[in-house]
Amino acid sequence: EAGVAQSPRYKIIEKRQSVAFWCNPISGHATLYWYQQILGQGPKLLIQFQNNGVVDDSQLPKDRFSAERLKGVDSTLKIQPAKLEDSAVYLCASSSLLGAGANVLTFGAGSRLTVL
């Protein structure tokens, strides 16, 4: 099966500029996640979608970050305006709940953001 596609792979911007990342999950996966991974840390969940509805966005800095998943397939994550501390890898993942009590995530290659 095709994997999780993300673009762009790398992006360098100045602070206060805006940036958008795109993700195409594995076909048929209902759940889509955006994680932020700062260098040397574990992935931190920003937002989780089930189809095109938001399940959890409690850790999304809503004053500058937004995300949408139109039609329950592709998703975009936007940052506007960017801050230096937003420098990180933004990982998209998708999953299809496998029976009871299991949730295997498949990650994309990530989008590395550098804010100068």
Is position 84 an interface residue for another protein (rule: CB under 8 A)? no
Q: Residue 86 contacts by C-beta under 8 Å, 6 or more apart in sequence?
A: 64, 79, 113, 115
30 is a site residue for another protein (CB under 8 A):
no
Considering the rule CB under 8 A, would residue 20 count as an interface residue with another protein? no
Determine contact, residues 19/10, Cβ cutoff 8 Å.
no
Q: Which stretch binds another protein (CB under 8 A): 15-23, 69-77, 80-88, 100-108?
A: 100-108
| Cβ closest to another protein, residue 15 vs residue 38 | 38
- Taking the complex as a whole, how short is the minimal distance between the CB of residue 104 and another protein, in angstroms? 6
**Integer Cα distance of 29 and 106 in angstroms:** 10
CB nearer to another protein: pick between 22 and 107: 107
Task: Provide the 3-class DSSP secondary structure of residue 71.
Answer: helix
Token duo for residue 84: 């230096």
